[in-house]
Amino acid sequence: MEKVKRASWSGQVAFILAAAASAIGLGNLWRFPYLAAQYGGGTFIVIYLALVMTLGFTLMLTEISVGRKTQQSQLTAYTCLSRGWGFLGFLGTVIPLLIVPYYCVIGGWVIYYFKAYCQMAFTGVNLMGESANLSGEFFSSFISSPFAPFGYGVIFIFASSAVIMLGVKNGIEKSNLVMMPILFLMAILISVYVITMPGSGDGIKYYLVPNMRCLTTADGNFSIALLGKTLLGATGQMFYSLSLAMGIMITYGSYMKKGDSIEKCVRRIEIFDTLVALLAGLMIIPVVYLFAVKTGTPVDEAMKAGPGLMFITLPKVFASLGSSGAYVGMAFFLLVIFAAATSAISLYEACVASVCDLLKLERKAATFFTGALILSLSTFSALGYGAWSKVTLFGMQFLDFFDFITNSVLMPIVAGITCIFVGWVIKPRAIIDECEAGGTTMKAKAFYSFMVRYLAPALMVALLISEVCRALKIGGWSI
């Protein structure tokens, strides 16, 4: 059988843009602001930046190098490097396959909200009720409806499938060239709008100025335990934000040309992703802070994580802005659509590439096969708050369970085992050689070797333990 030529990016810029697009998703837009608000604003930001430049650099460089070295997606890449390690590729493929269905369901929620704000902006009719407090009821009635959540999720899945079917250059690359500049521009414009709002200064200080309250107990004493919780909270966000252990970076790395510098690309991806995360904080924290002060709501409560921040709290904030609120909401949810789409496409591609590599299918056939599977799995998350709300897994709704098992359990496990595999089985030299294969010199060799062998696996174990304790409410450990 003649070997099929692997697709490739048109150049280094296209790869960086695609990898950054995969990293810039819903985690940046609602999880980063919440964690920054909870863990001392600037204190969290400093710790997060340090982790991105060290642990994030190590994990991303490893995954991209594995992909380019093997020219395979995550499902088959590890077997190519060492027989007997195929299980790691299987675990790495399960993660995006479980994430894409519920991610597309949430993407459908975003489409629904964007449509609602468009109607409110152009008709002047408040679909969420006269009182801003009814926005919570608006969200609950939507996700518990018998068909709407599934229907909007299907729209998101079909749109993502269309991009994937067009291929790496004509689909993923071109879509990023359109969506990413728009996303970045809108993030800047909304941030400027928020910054210039009267009274936003206190909210900006709350966000950017380091506050040691996250590291001290009620009596003002420094706490090692609280430092550990803050560190692990930032580690979890870094993990989620940079799209690590999801198979994306391995797949995208397999499309990378040998002459491109992996080390430089990783640094640029990190800069781009972190910049959008910081802009997300500027978009959300000051305006929510103003709203909390105005309504007498505790700031920490207003900044609660998950869907509540984006689909309940922010609509209340937009309603408090008066006639301009509908336009701000419309712009914000359009931005979120692009952010969700770029990440969903990347996760989808990781699944499709695995099917192509394992079953030797052409892209269209692999997309149909994967799309049908994603569509079937999305049913559980779409109906989990409605028709199937009484069915739970370990006390969690389907969407919450899929999120927990992938982000809190499988991702730290895959990342930790990957570090052990690279550090002690194929050895760091294999990754360093790949980074230097195109004639470039890797500057951080000694640092990388230490991180991938010792510190990174230790942090992954700590993150796994903390996330499981948090989910099961063991020992009061909450992140």
Q: Which amino acid is at 317?
A: V
User: What pLDDT sits at residue 239?
Assistant: 82
Residues 6+ apart with CB under 8 A from 461: 412, 416
Closest to 197 measured CA to CA, from 101, 312, 340, 293: 293
pLDDT by 10s per residue, the chain, length 479 = 344 578 899 999 999 999 999 988 887 888 899 889 888 899 999 999 999 999 999 999 999 999 999 999 999 999 999 999 999 999 999 999 999 999 999 999 999 999 999 999 999 888 887 665 566 889 999 999 989 999 999 999 999 999 999 999 999 999 999 999 999 999 999 999 999 999 999 999 999 999 887 888 878 888 888 888 888 888 888 887 888 999 999 999 999 998 899 999 999 999 999 999 999 999 999 999 998 988 888 877 887 766 788 898 899 889 888 888 999 999 999 999 999 999 999 999 999 999 999 999 999 999 999 999 999 999 999 999 999 999 999 889 999 999 999 988 999 999 999 999 999 999 999 999 999 997 888 999 999 999 999 999 999 998 898 888 877 777 655 54
The Cα–Cα gap between 148 and 357 comes to 35
The Cα–Cα gap between 186 and 173 comes to 20
DSSP string covering 368-390, please? HHHHHHHHHHHHHHHHTTTTTTT
User: What pLDDT sits at residue 214?
Assistant: 80
The Cα–Cα gap between 48 and 36 comes to 9
State the angle between helix axes of 262-295 and 12-23 in degrees (0 to 180), rounded to the nearest 10.
30
Q: Which residue has the tokens 């728009």?
A: 182
Residues 6+ apart with CB under 8 A from 303: 33, 34, 37, 38, 285, 288, 309, 313
Residues 6+ apart with CB under 8 A from 49: 274
For residue 305, the 8-state DSSP code is -
The Cα–Cα gap between 281 and 303 comes to 11
Q: Which amino acid is at 281?
A: G
Closest to 146 measured CA to CA, from 312, 384, 373: 384
Q: Are 318 and 290 in contact (CB under 8 A)?
A: no
Domain 12-401 part of CATH 1.10.4160.10: yes
Q: Which residue has the tokens 């890797």?
A: 442
Q: Are 358 and 257 in contact (CB under 8 A)?
A: no
Burial category of 219 from C-beta neighbours within 10 Å (exposed 0-12, middle 13-18, buried 19 and up): exposed
Phi and psi at 396, nearest 5°, equal -115, 145
Q: Are 451 and 58 in contact (CB under 8 A)?
A: yes
